[in-house]
Amino acid sequence: MDKQQNDTDNQTAQQPQNLSLLGKTVNISLRTLMSFLGIAILSMGAAALKTSPILGLDPFTAVNVGMAAILHTSLGLYQLVANFVIFVFIFFLDRKKIGIGTIMNMVLVGFEIQWFSTIYHQLFPGKATAIVLIANLIIGLLLFTAGSSLYMAPDLGVAPYDAIAPIASTRLHCKYKTARVAQDMCFLILAVIVHGPVGIASIVVAFFDGPLISYWNRTISNPLMDYISELSDHPSFKNLASGVTKATKHGYQSLSNAYNSTLDFQMHLAGYTNKELIKQIQDTEHNMQRSQKEYNMYRTRYRMLVAEMVKRDKRGQLDKSSEDIHNNDK
């Protein structure tokens, strides 16, 4: 089963079902907020990568920066127009992929990258040193892929650019990963033609954004969606405050661990031979696939157990000890 199918199954499981009016309101509000924050985070990541042409941007944004410079317009305005053109095609080809998340992404990203870039240059006005460039590369990639995961996980629609690959994979009968890499490579070539900021990050994003996003799905986005589903079933200010605290701590720990492990791994990259590098890539891909399958299995089992517990609670079939466990789980 490829990544697209796994993501589809996850999103289907995360849709609100049999919720009260308050639960539905909480659910859609939190999912919208999660998508909005994800867009802001990925924009911060793109702004960090935009600090130097050596780093470069993701293929789509790199094309937009190059075209905006050629047409002497702002990045925000040109990216909005480019997104709208793709949006029209997506509307006729597969409008199910359009939602409030689509609109937020196509309207906000370009302008937010401009805004965060301005703030960055005000805070760090001097020429970037090698250490600063390395930090910007690592932090930028982590933020960009983490934000992408957060805005896509609520299943409120994807950005027009992100909708191209799944539609192409369905119509051309190929794997999502193949379609996405081909799409990113085409835009990467186009970015070079229009003199967009293509660099190390552009190549990394073109080839490895899928695995990085899968990591964030597993460690942050899917657990957050599980929490939103549980809070929607039992909405209260107490549960909301408790969940926000846990999510904040978990998010900080995941980001810190990812930064430290990525920095450590990068320091050892130069020491690998070509054969060792290929072996590391194969082992990492295998471990990611295995971890994703195990997570999906335990997540499904957990939701089934909780659902059964809720049914028995409603029927009055829980004894005192079971009720205590159920209340603690809430």
> What's the pTM?
0.62
Write down the pLDDT at residue 180.
82
> Which is higher by pLDDT, 146 or 238?
146
CA distances from 32 to 39, 100, 152, 249 (A): 11, 8, 10, 21
Residues 309, 311, 316, 322, Cα dihedral to 10°: 0
* High-pLDDT (> 90) share of the chain, %: 10
Residue length of the chain: 330
pLDDT digits (tens, 9 = 90+) for 274-321: 666 666 666 666 666 666 666 666 667 667 777 777 777 777 765 554
Write down the pLDDT at residue 40.
93
What's the longest Cα–Cα distance across the chain? 71
**Beta carbons of 183 and 8 less than 8 angstroms apart:** no
Q: Which two tokens stand for residue 183?
A: 């799409």
Task: Say how far apart CA 242 and CA 238 lie, in whole Å.
Answer: 6
Q: Mean pLDDT lowest for which of 40-44, 121-125, 188-192?
A: 121-125
Number of H helices, E strands in the chain: 13, 0
* High-pLDDT (> 70) share of the chain, %: 66
Most confident of 7-11, 58-62, 322-326: 58-62
Task: Render the burial of 271-294: b for 16+ CB within 10 Å, e for the rest.
Answer: eeeeeeeeeeeeeeeeebbeebee
Q: How far apart are the first and last CA of the chain?
A: 33
pLDDT category of residue 49 using cuts at 50, 70 and 90: confident
**Beta carbons of 235 and 26 less than 8 angstroms apart:** yes
